[in-house]
């Protein structure tokens, strides 16, 4: 497949997603900040990260983790300054780490100056920055995202005696992106941040941005907006990228790419859903079947794979029966579920803190076709706090060591402005970076080893991805091939030992185990017989006979 051969930097990126609020507190106010992140760049370099995706750090009303933006052109004063951000970008670049940031333009906060102008005067140009109706539509819940929290897509504003449209929370009025004036403002936002030397944007809620809403309609094809955004960032940085959050059916993926003129990458929600179904059922078949529906682009466009992100584990791509099976295994209690579609837990609690099962998941993340996105703390097996509201349960503070507050902040617990998991299985006393650095079998060290192997054997540049058939439903085998060697990757989804036979009689390659080890191996005339331990994974280098 040609698209796996391109040497664009996104193809070989290992992306690390974080919120500066929850990462490291450097100014001792109980909240993470930009200077704190700068102080931890060496750790990310040690791990093998070469791209950081920052969730919103703009001035906001802080009702939705920074996604309720009040000012697109400033840094939240509690997190730092524009000068701090400039230092962050330059400091990261010295370590060959690129920075991409969130573009949040589906909506603003209802405290954004544009919205305040919009409700102060119906004749204001800013009134048309949003979507209005004089009467609430009868079908007012058609596109409601937070179904168990919000009651309608339309919220009444008494100042203008009209209803405004919101896809998400009622305090986040949707922008009317079909309005050319709004499109110009978005271009200004893109240009402003690109000047700092960033390498692009992760665009929040892309399909919702491009929808016709209320009585507002795009002129022409709504997806053409993405062409203009891409053109704008490339004018400033020829290597800049746009990646999109688009939780849609896989058949819709190609329309977001358009041969590199629109988005460069899409988060692969479809594959993510079936990966969790496979993990829940201890069976590779759901993942194998998912690849049959997944379109690969013809030279442009990259998938971004992930295990968990900063939101709920949204299982909308599964059938009702499939979703129910995953819920039964990974969210058996109602308080673990959210929005009638997802799970608000981190990966380790879902996998009962089984280190091998977690490491198997990390191996899949880092070896399936696409660019892996690691959520902060995932590499050490951090847990969640289900006492927190909604999605905050998976957004607790990074756990650096077993000292006070896990090394996140030096303030006393009452002064903390971000939740630290203290005590219990997932407390910082048991799970932290420092402890795992000293244990070669820890999740951290195993993740670092897989990342290093991914780079050493150039998986991002392999010319093919091929799933190999086998007679064991719990074994998932695939291979990548370069010109002079191949990499065979074997994953055991089973919680018991598994026997597997691999037929390579047509080529009879020289096999070298480069990662992991089987319980036993027999090789004869190109046929390999393995016994695998529970949740194990193996990498073999396939070389041609001299």
| Active site residues per annotation | 204, 245
Contact 30, 411 (CB under 8 A): yes
Instruction: Report the distance separating Cα 91 and Cα 42, nearest Å.
Output: 10
**Torsion, CA 37, CA 38, CA 42, CA 48, rounded to 10:** 60
Q: Among candidates 6, 32, 43, which has minimal Cα distance to 374?
A: 43
How many angstroms separate the Cα of 340 from the Cα of each of 41, 268, 313, 344? 38, 21, 11, 11
Instruction: Report the distance separating Cα 145 and Cα 169, nearest Å.
Output: 8
Instruction: Report the distance separating Cα 88 and Cα 443, nearest Å.
Output: 27
Instruction: Report the distance separating Cα 376 and Cα 45, nearest Å.
Output: 14
Residue 467: strand pairing partners? 478
Pairing of strands 485-492, 537-543: antiparallel
Instruction: Report the distance separating Cα 23 and Cα 264, nearest Å.
Output: 28
The separation between the first and the last C-alpha atoms of the chain, rounded to the nearest angstrom, is 27
Three-state secondary structure string covering 262-320 = CCCEEECHHHHHHHHHHHHHCCCHHHHHHHHHCCCCCCCCEEEEECCCCCCEECCCCCH
Taking each helix axis as running N to C, give the angle between helix 443-456 and helix 355-367, from 0 to 180 degrees, rounded to the nearest 10.
Answer: 20
Pairing of strands 51-54, 98-103: parallel
Instruction: Report the distance separating Cα 15 and Cα 9, nearest Å.
Output: 11
504's tokens: 């390579």
Contact 167, 174 (CB under 8 A): yes
Backbone angles phi, psi at 523, to 5 degrees: -125, 130
Instruction: Report the distance separating Cα 211 and Cα 4, nearest Å.
Output: 31
């Amino acid at each position: 497949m040609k698209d796996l051969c391109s040497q664009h930097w996104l193809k070989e990126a290992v992306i690390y997603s974080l919120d500066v609020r929850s990462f490291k507190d450097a100014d001792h106010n109980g909240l993470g900040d930009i200077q704190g992140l700068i102080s931890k760049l060496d750790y990310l370099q040690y791990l093998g990260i070469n791209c950081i995706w920052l969730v919103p750090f703009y001035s906001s009303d802080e009702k939705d983790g920074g996604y309720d933006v009040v000012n697109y052109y400033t840094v939240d004063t509690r997190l730092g300054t524009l000068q701090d951000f400039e230092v962050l970008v330059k400091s990261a670049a010295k370590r060959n780490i690129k920075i991409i940031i969130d573009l949040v333009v589906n909506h603003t906060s209802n405290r954004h100056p544009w919205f305040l102008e919009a409700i102060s005067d119906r004749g204001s140009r800013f009134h048309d920055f949003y979507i209005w109706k004089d009467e609430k539509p009868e079908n007012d819940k058609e596109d409601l995202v937070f179904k168990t929290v919000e009651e309608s897509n339309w919220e009444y504003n008494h100042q203008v005696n009209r209803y405004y449209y919101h896809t998400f929370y009622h305090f986040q009025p949707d922008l009317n992106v079909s309005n050319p004036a709004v499109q110009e403002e978005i271009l200004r936002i893109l240009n402003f941040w690109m000047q700092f030397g960033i390498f692009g944007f992760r665009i929040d809620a892309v399909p919702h941005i491009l929808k016709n809403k209320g009585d507002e309609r795009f002129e022409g094809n709504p997806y053409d907006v993405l062409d203009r955004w891409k053109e704008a960032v490339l004018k400033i940085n020829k290597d800049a990228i746009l990646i999109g959050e688009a939780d849609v059916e896989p058949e819709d993926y190609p329309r977001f790419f358009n041969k590199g003129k629109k988005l460069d990458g899409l988060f692969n929600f479809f594959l993510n859903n079936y990966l969790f179904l496979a993990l829940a059922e201890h069976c590779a078949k759901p993942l194998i079947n998912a690849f049959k529906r997944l379109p690969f682009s013809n030279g442009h466009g990259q998938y971004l794979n992930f295990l968990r992100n900063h939101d709920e584990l949204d299982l909308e791509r599964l059938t009702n029966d499939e979703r129910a099976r995953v819920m039964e295994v990974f969210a058996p209690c109602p308080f673990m579920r959210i929005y009638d579609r997802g799970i608000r837990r981190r990966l380790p609690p879902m996998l009962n803190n089984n280190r091998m099962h977690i490491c198997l998941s990390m191996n899949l993340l880092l070896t399936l076709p696409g660019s892996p996105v690691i959520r902060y703390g995932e590499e050490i097996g951090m847990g969640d706090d289900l006492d927190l509201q909604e999605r905050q349960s998976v957004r607790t503070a990074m756990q650096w060591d077993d000292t006070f507050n896990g090394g996140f902040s030096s303030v006393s617990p009452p002064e903390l402005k971000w939740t630290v998991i203290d005590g219990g299985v997932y407390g910082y006393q048991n799970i932290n970076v420092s402890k795992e650095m000293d244990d070669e079998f820890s999740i951290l060290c195993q993740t670092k080893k897989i990342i290093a192997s991914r780079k050493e054997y150039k998986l991002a540049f392999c010319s093919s991805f091929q799933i190999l058939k086998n007679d064991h439903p719990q074994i998932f085998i695939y291979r990548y091939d370069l010109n002079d060697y191949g990499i065979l990757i074997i994953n055991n989804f089973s919680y018991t030992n598994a026997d597997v036979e691999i037929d390579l009689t047509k080529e009879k390659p020289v096999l070298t185990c480069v990662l992991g080890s089987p319980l036993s191996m027999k090789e004869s005339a190109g046929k390999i017989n393995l016994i695998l331990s529970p949740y194990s994974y193996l990498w073999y280098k396939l070389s041609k006979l001299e």
